[in-house]
């Protein structure tokens, strides 16, 4: 029986070596140490032994049971540790795996350029103001020295809402609204949507954007207009940019002009961008007409000022070489994602 007990221990050691999971370990524990296990089996046979042999075998059986028990505990600890390591390995984050790129929106080209324009004028002390898109005929035309029947009304195909109410055709009405609210000296730009009943094509849209400018103070002259707008053009298109002012006519300015910038693609030699001209027209402006000052409640004897109107779409199209204005409104992601 003593020999048998040694064999049981030997076998348990061998079997333990092959065990790799907890369930098998538990089965082994039951088979060796359980109520129906091999050691209990030996103890049950002790009745056949002599009184001298019994304590010796009993002691040996207890010793072997104790040894197997501690071997099983050891194995349990080993399995636990191995499992822990497996878990950790599975949960490890590989920081070198390339991440998933989140889909983020892009700033619309109109907004990119408008933000730049705002920044440039803010740097020169201008405030950004706004006016309504649904406007009174009075502010859009009358107060700007464009009375009913004036030919300038025909050139701006107006969406009328009622006889006296319309969708503004220009941002110039914000000049009057600003003069009503604030006293000179003042420097403002007023960006916003304007509307004209134009058929859609590569260079026309019934909705487009303008940026109005107004400067009022004592002693403002055409030199201030030129200096300000030249500085603006150089900031927007680069220091090498040249400007040229051509006489023009607007009912709300006197004298009036248009400003061209040297083509930033060819530098003035003439190319497809500037249609061979070397120059690109980017805004209209002039000295605010005394009648307009009066309509805004400004003392025209004391104050003078200049105003200008910039077409945002043109700036954007020239900046990015976009040849069809419709691209700016169609919300085609393939187009918009390039910005
Ligand atoms: N409102 C004019 C237009 O839509 C643009 C303009 C020209 C605005 C001259 C001005 C200006 O303030 O002085 O064509």
Q: What is the pLDDT of residue 114?
A: 98
End-to-end CA distance of the chain: 89
Nearest CA to ligand 1 atom 6: 309
Q: What is the pLDDT of residue 278?
A: 94
Give Cβ neighbours of residue 113 (< 8 Å, ≥ 6 apart).
312, 315, 316, 319
Where the chain has pLDDT below 70, the residues are: none
What distance in angstroms lies between residue 172's CA and the mean position of ligand 1's atoms?
Answer: 6
Nearest CA to ligand 1 atom 12: 308
Q: What is the DSSP string of 281-315?
A: EEEEEEEEPHHHHHHTT--TTT-EEEEEEEEHHHH
What distance in angstroms lies between residue 309's CA and the mean position of ligand 1's atoms?
Answer: 4
- For the chain, the structural domain boundaries read 2-90, 109-336
Q: What is the pLDDT of residue 48?
A: 85
Distances (CA, A) of 278 to 28, 232, 271, 319: 95, 19, 7, 15
Question: Helices 109-123 and 222-237: crossing angle, nearest 10°?
Answer: 130
Indicate which atom in ligand 1 lies nearest the CA of residue 169. Answer: 4
Q: What is the value of pTM for the model shown?
A: 0.72
Which of the listed CATH numbers 3.30.930.10, 3.30.465.10, 3.40.630.40, 2.30.33.40 matches domain 109-336?
Answer: 3.30.930.10
Q: What is the pLDDT of residue 210?
A: 98
How many angstroms separate the CA atoms of 102 and 112, rounded? Answer: 21
């Amino acid at each position: 029986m003593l020999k048998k007990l040694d064999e049981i221990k030997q076998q348990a050691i061998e079997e333990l070596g092959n065990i790799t999971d907890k369930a098998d370990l538990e089965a082994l524990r039951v088979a060796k140490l359980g109520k129906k296990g091999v050691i209990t089996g030996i103890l049950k046979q002790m009745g056949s032994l002599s009184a001298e042999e019994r304590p010796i075998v009993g002691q040996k059986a207890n010793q072997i049971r104790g040894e197997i028990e501690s071997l099983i505990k050891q194995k349990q600890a080993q399995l636990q540790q191995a499992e822990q390591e497996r878990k950790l390995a599975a949960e490890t984050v590989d920081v070198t795996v390339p991440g998933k790129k989140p889909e983020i929106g892009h700033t619309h080209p109109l907004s990119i350029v408008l933000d730049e324009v705002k920044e440039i004028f803010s740097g020169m002390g201008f405030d950004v103001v706004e006016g309504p898109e649904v406007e009174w005929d009075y502010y859009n035309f009358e107060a700007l020295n464009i009375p009913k029947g004036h030919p300038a009304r025909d050139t701006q195909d107006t969406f009328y809402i009622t006889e006296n109410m319309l969708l503004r055709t220009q941002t110039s009405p914000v000049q009057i609204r600003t003069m009503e609210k604030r006293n000179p000296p003042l420097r403002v730009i007023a960006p916003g949507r304007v509307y004209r009943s134009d058929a859609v094509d590569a260079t026309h849209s019934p909705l487009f954007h303008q940026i109005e400018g107004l400067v009022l103070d004592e002693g403002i002259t055409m030199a201030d207009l030129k200096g300000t707008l030249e500085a603006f053009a150089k900031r927007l298109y680069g220091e090498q940019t040249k400007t040229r002012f051509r006489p023009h006519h607007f009912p709300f300015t006197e004298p009036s002009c248009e400003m061209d910038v040297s083509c930033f693609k060819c530098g003035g030699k003439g190319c497809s961008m500037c249609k061979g001209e070397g120059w690109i027209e980017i805004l209209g402006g002039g000295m605010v007409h005394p009648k307009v000052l009066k309509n805004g409640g400004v003392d025209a004897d004391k104050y003078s000022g200049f105003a200008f109107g910039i077409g945002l779409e043109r700036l954007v199209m020239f900046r990015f070489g976009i040849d069809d204005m419709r691209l700016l409104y169609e919300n085609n992601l393939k187009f918009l994602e390039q910005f």
